[in-house]
Amino acid sequence: MKRLYRSDSNKVLAGILGGLGEYLDVDPVVLRLGFVFLLLATAILPGVIAYLAAVLIVPRKPVTPQ
């Protein structure tokens, strides 16, 4: 079962867009560019609020013992 987690390996701030890229099998750079465009198009505040909400909602990836 595929689940959405914050990425620990591919992150810039909190790993939200890196985790979303892993979940959707999309390059996270494309998602980051789209997010920056959305921030600029919506006067920044709604995007920042959405990102902060995602940080609180999306869990970190559990550590699996090797």
Other CB atoms closer than 10 Å to residue 1's CB: what's the count?
A: 2
pLDDT one-digit tens code per residue, 4-44: 999 888 888 899 999 999 999 999 999 999 999 999 998 88
How many residues are there in the chain?
66
Those residues whose C-beta lies under 8 Å from the C-beta of residue 12, and which sit 6 or more positions away, are 18, 32
Where are the domains positioned within the chain? Answer: 16-57
Q: Structure pTM?
A: 0.82
The token pair at 41 is 């198009």
The alpha-helical segments, DSSP class H, found in the chain are 16-24, 28-41, 45-57
Name the DSSP class of 66: -
Q: Name the pLDDT band for 56 (thresholds 50, 70, 90).
A: very high
